[in-house]
Chain A
Amino acid sequence: MDFDFTDDQEMLRDTVRRWVERGYDFERRRAIVKAGGFSREAWQEIADLGICGLQVPEAQGGLGLGPVDAMVVLEELGRGLVLEPYAAVALVATSVLKAGHEAAAAPRLQHIAQGKEIVVLAHEERHSRYRLAHVETTAHGSGHAWRLSGRKIAVPAGGAANAFIVPARIGGDVDDATGVGLFLVSPGQPGVEVHPYPTQDGASGADLVLKEAGAIELIAPGAAFAALELAADTGIAALCAEAVGAMDRLVAITVEYMNTRKQFGVAIASFQALRHRIADVKMQLELARSMSYYASLKLGEEPAARRRALAQAKVQLGTSMRFVGQQCIQLHGGIGVTDEYAASHYFKRLTVIEMTFGDTLFQLGEVSRRMQTTAGVFA
């Protein structure tokens, strides 16, 4: 039992932190938001850090590293509210591709590792409400020739993607996990429409509309749903780490404000009502950090234990993000609600994180359903 980071992990953290601090300041981020929420140049800079292949196997030119390394990277990207879809590509899509048919997946993985391609999972639908098995998009065909029809929403950086990983239904009713396959779809072909839009956190999302669109099978039904669940849990762990980084920074900004802002002739940090509030904020931050570690450390468990742990983590993070976000705005007073000041942007990102890969109530349902007679970290 050990929560220390290795020297390599500390170096990785330094590398990412330096880039965020020097290369991704608030003004640059604001310009990227204005330009649609995604910057090709910034993505290239992330690729140049050598981290796009973090979890791509070495055989495909990646680093073959694990969940804790990813956690370290995401904490730092979260600190700087980086808009580019690092986790979506380098962790979530990569997770699916590693389980996919080699002929289809290997070139994609190589290109991800080289920073040449943006591949994202397009799984959310208007009526799925976080249920991974609820898939209305259909697929028909065989072998290499498949046709997909349906609509996916809130696809991260959809407008910039070189390929989409799409869950589609081959058989069964609308909630049947065993009837879902995973397919690769390329944009720019007949039957594929991408409708990009800005999202609440300043990033770029898109709807993906498929009308008899050509697709390659990546994982057949049966194995596909297990891979989809693992990808979603990988995404949850990444979001937890990103949220910890973002909250850490937001709390630091708030503490600085409390110590400098004066009212009634004194720093507002001297008021006990506010001191107790910041203590409660610190509590939620440390609980979140603890559960973010838990999320990453449990990713390698067998599916049932992994799902239970990741749901627990997302419940804690959801609670923490909402409390820390809301209270840090409140502690700022008027300046907290302005677009000009950084705090509101942290709050918005934390809010969107809660609504990605299952919100707090959804994951609480998962925890509740999956409870056992024993309890605790090692139960």
Chain B
Amino acid sequence: MDLAFTPEEQAFREQIRAWVRDNLPKDISDKVRNSIHLTRDDLQRWAKILGQKGWHGWAWPKQFGGPGWNAIQKHLFEEETALAGAPRVIPFGPVMVAPVIMAFGTPEQQKRFLPGIASGEVWWSQGYSEPGSGSDLASLKTKAERRGDKYIVNGQKTWTTLGQYGDWIFCLVRTSNEGKPQTGISFLLIDMKSPGITVRPIITMEGEREVNEVWFDNVEVPADQLIGEENKGWTYAKHLLAHERTNIADVNRAKRELERLKRVAEAEGVYGDGRFRDQIALLEVDVVALEMMVLRVLSAEKSGKQSLDVAGLLKIRGSEIQQRYTELMMLAAGPAAVPLDREAIAAGWQPGELDGAFVAPLASTYFNMRKTTIYGGSNEVQRNIVAQTVLGS
């Protein structure tokens, strides 16, 4: 047992760190460090910079043009980019749909779709949830009917993150009503410029357009955009979930934000207040414990000796911690977090400088982060999964 990374791993970390230092645009990292809204252009610029280096698909094997890193190297890359203030890579393309295309797509599909994801040029969205299908995803109703060499898609997807930017969307659609709900689902890749697709904004409580409704009205989808076999889509989607490893805990971002929380608390004069400081200390313990749990998973992956089935725990804990640091940052700002930032500033309010930016987005971020315990399988669903594993019944 050893906590230290090997000299080779350290050298790898240094190499990543140097590259990020030289290539991450400062205007983008400034925004990330201060929770300022990132535009499509900001996100795309960073995706393409990574793409040029061959790192947009940083977890990809070499045969598909990825760097072929092991679990530790992937973690070090994620850690170094997060700590440097890089935006989180939008996962739908490189992290979510690409592994499915690699595992179940035809060679033609791989040739057609993977290069655009690898380069960061093509923006992918995810079409899973529906108004009537949240935690009970398998009950989804969006219908795809086979007509000749096409599918005709009708229905509605929702909570589509940044769907307004999407070039393509991967969807779970119903192709059969026979048998169990899971057995009639197919996995379709759909061009979002297809006639009949309408993207409508959903404004969330902090006032941002981060999610959307996507409507399908007789949308024609060429049949060669079906992944694998018809009615096997649920299996492919589960494969995708299994690929969301330690990433889901987002512990590297938690470390960065905890450091920021300390700066905010210091600037606002509450870092020396025992009651407030102890809350930060508790969070620090939580973050270290989460990081240790992540490292245990990585070590198990590396050695292949012991399997660690803690993905559900990582999701629950990681999301709770994300909510907690945004909550404490808002509380650190105190009354200065109350004005609705953009409107208040437009009306002449002067929030004062804090850590290179103003304090008010802290409340917006707090509101925004309520999503983390809901999405990706709500924490209550995660507890069901954990309980199933623990109880074996």
Binding site for B on A (CB under 8 A): 1-5, 68, 251, 255, 258-259, 267, 269-270, 272, 275-276, 278-280, 282-283, 286-287, 290-291, 293-294, 296-298, 312, 315-316, 364-365, 367-368, 371, 373-377, 379
Cβ–Cβ contact A368 & B277, under 8 A: yes
Chain B interfacial residues counted at CB < 8 A: 53
Which residues of B have CB within 8 Å of A371?
Answer: 262, 277, 280-281, 284
Neighbouring A residues of B259 by C-beta, 8 Å? 373-375
Interface residue from B278, B289, B295, B306 paired with A316 (Cβ < 8 Å) = B289
Interface string of B190-208 (1 = CB under 8 A from A): 0000000000000000000
- Bound complex: CA of A23 vs CA of B160, how far in Å? 60
User: Does residue B346 face the partner (Cβ distance < 8 Å to A)?
Assistant: no
Per-residue A-contact encoding for B326-364, CB less than 8 Å = 1, 0 else: 000000000000000000000000000000000000000
Q: Interface code B284-324, partner A: CB below 8 Å = 1, 0 otherwise? A: 11011111110110111011011000101100110000000
Knowing A279-B383, A282-B390, A291-B292 touch, does A367 contact B285 (C-beta < 8 A)? Answer: yes
Among residues of B, the one whose C-beta sits closest to the C-beta of A297 is: B3
Which residues of chain B have C-beta atoms less than 8 A from A315's C-beta? Answer: 281-282, 285
Interface flag for B4 (CB, 8 Å): yes
A9 to chain B, nearest CB (A): 8
Choice from A1, A259, A280 contacting B6 with Cβ under 8 Å: A1
Residues of A within 8 A of B317 (CB): 283, 287
Q: Give the interface SS of chain B, mostly helix, strand, loop or mixed.
A: helix
Q: Are B387 and A3 in contact (CB under 8 A)?
A: no
A255 lies within 8 A of B1 (CB): no
CA distance A287 to B295 in the complex (A): 12
**Given known A68-B1, A287-B317, A368-B278, contact A275–B387 (CB-CB < 8 A):** yes
Which residues of chain B have a CB within 8 Å of any CB of chain A?
1-6, 9, 72, 255, 258-259, 262-263, 274, 277-278, 280-282, 284-285, 287-293, 295-296, 298-300, 302-303, 305-306, 310, 312-313, 316-317, 380, 382-384, 386-387, 389-393
Q: Are B3 and A298 in contact (CB under 8 A)?
A: yes
In whole Å, how far is B248's beta carbon from the nearest beta carbon of chain A? 15
Q: Which residues of A sit under 8 angstroms from B291, Cβ to Cβ?
A: 376-377
Once the chains bind, are B2 and A312 in contact (CB under 8 Å)? Answer: no
Q: How far is the CA of A278 from the CA of B289 in the complex (A)?
A: 19
A-B residue pairs, 4 tightest by C-beta: A290-B292, A275-B387, A368-B281, A279-B386
Q: Of the candidates B284, B285, B288, B296, which one forms a contact with A3 in the assembled complex, judged by CB atoms under 8 Å apart?
A: B296
Q: Are A1 and B288 in contact (CB under 8 A)?
A: no
> Can you pick out 24 interface pairs between chain A and chain B where the beta carbons lie within 8 Å of each other?
A1-B3, A1-B295, A3-B296, A3-B300, A255-B392, A269-B391, A275-B384, A276-B387, A278-B391, A282-B387, A282-B389, A283-B316, A283-B386, A290-B293, A293-B292, A294-B289, A296-B1, A316-B289, A367-B281, A368-B277, A371-B281, A373-B262, A376-B288, A377-B3
A286 in contact with B1 (CB, 8 Å): no
Query: What is the CA–CA distance of A4 and B278 in the complex, to the nearest angstrom?
Result: 34
Q: Which residue of A lies closest to B314 (CB)?
A: A286
Q: With the chains together, A278 CA to B389 CA distance in Å?
A: 10
Chain B's nearest CB lies how many Å from the CB of A153? 28
> Are the CB atoms of B277 and A4 closer together than 8 Å?
no
If A1-B299, A2-B303, A287-B317 touch, does A259 touch B293 (CB 8 Å cutoff)? no
Q: What residues of chain A lie closer than 8 Å to B390, measured between beta carbons? A: 251, 255, 278-279, 282
Please name all residues of chain A whose beta carbon is closer than 8 Å to the beta carbon of B313 when the two chains form the complex: 282-283, 286
- Contact, CB under 8 Å: A312 / B288: yes
**How many Å lie between the Cα of A1 and that of B5 in the bound state?**
5
Q: How distant is the Cα of A79 from the Cα of B117 in the complex, in angstroms?
A: 50
- Asked if A364 contacts B292 (CB within 8 A), the reply is no
- Nearest B residue to A287 via CB reads B289
Known A-B contacts A68-B1, A290-B292, A294-B292; A312 and B285 likewise in contact (beta carbons under 8 Å)? yes
B310 touching A286 by the CB < 8 A rule?
yes
Instruction: Name A282's closest neighbour in chain B (CB-CB).
Output: B390
Nearest CB on A from B168, distance (A): 36
Query: A residues within 8 A CB of B9?
Result: 1
**From A2, A287, A365, A367, residue with most partner B Cβ within 10 Å:** A2
The answer to whether A297 touches B391, judged by C-beta atoms less than 8 angstroms apart, is no
Taking CB atoms, residues of chain B closer than 8 Å to A282 are: 313, 386-387, 389-390
Contact of A269 among B255, B285, B305, B393 (CB under 8 A): B393
| Known pairs A259-B393, A375-B255; A1 contacts B4 (CB<8 A) | yes
